[in-house]
Amino acid sequence: MNLQTFTKLSYGLYIISSKKDDKFNGQIADCVMQITANPPIIAVSINRKNLTNEFIKASKLFTVSILSKNATLKFIGNFGFKSGRELDKFKEVNYQLGVTGVPIILDNTIGYLECKVINIIDIETHTIFLGKVVDAELFNDGEPMTYDYYHKVIKGKTAKNAPTYIEEKRKIKEAG
């Protein structure tokens, strides 16, 4: 099986944020999908080991901030390659609290979706959270960043805990 085929699926790039008590955390995610329009339901896949997963399970709340094509690799790296267990990712980022009290990233984003969890599906390494959208807004008409653009233009890598991560050794084995 050629696992590289999965890289041809179309993805966006987002920051998924949540809260637990008075703490915030957020991470980069590429697996966000609209499930229905009426009622507005989306799904997001988060690695079970990630702090954001723990926060969403505790609060049953999350936001999806839609990254702009203008986002820098440094900005993405803050949310994608660092752990909220070791630093406050929101310390130097502009954000506002949504109607649920979860942060919405204002820097390098074009809009957001704010959700209340209505179902949780645990799978082998990840959790799929189904969320009913309680608020959504566009900040501007900028272009959203796609996963393809992130890899080809920004030259970004995939974090090990991402749903789309393919281990290098396995890639070589599958290709050979």
All structural domains of the chain with their residue ranges: 3-175
CA-CA distance, 62 to 32, in Å (whole number)? 12
Output the pLDDT for position 157: 59
**Which tokens hold the place of 158?**
């995939």
Q: Are 15 and 26 in contact (CB under 8 A)?
A: yes
Output the pLDDT for position 46: 96
pLDDT greater than 50 at residue 162 = no
pLDDT greater than 60 at residue 170 = no
CA-CA distance, 156 to 50, in Å (whole number)? 20
pLDDT greater than 80 at residue 39 = yes
Give the class (CATH, top level) of 3-175.
mainly beta
Choice between 151 and 75, residue whose per-residue pLDDT is larger:
75
Q: What mean pLDDT do residues 97-126 have?
A: 97
Q: By three-state DSSP, how is residue 149 classified?
A: helix
Q: By three-state DSSP, how is residue 114 classified?
A: strand
Chain centroid to Cα 48, Å, comes to 13
pLDDT tens digits along 8-28: 777 889 999 999 999 999 999
pTM of the model: 0.84
Residue type, 38: N
The DSSP code for 68 is B
pLDDT greater than 70 at residue 105 = yes
Q: Are 46 and 127 in contact (CB under 8 A)?
A: yes
Instruction: Quote the Cα angle for 51-52-56, to 5°.
Output: 120
Output the pLDDT for position 112: 97
Beta-carbon contacts of residue 155 (< 8 Å; ≥ 6 apart)? 73
pLDDT grade for 119, boundaries at 50, 70 and 90:
very high
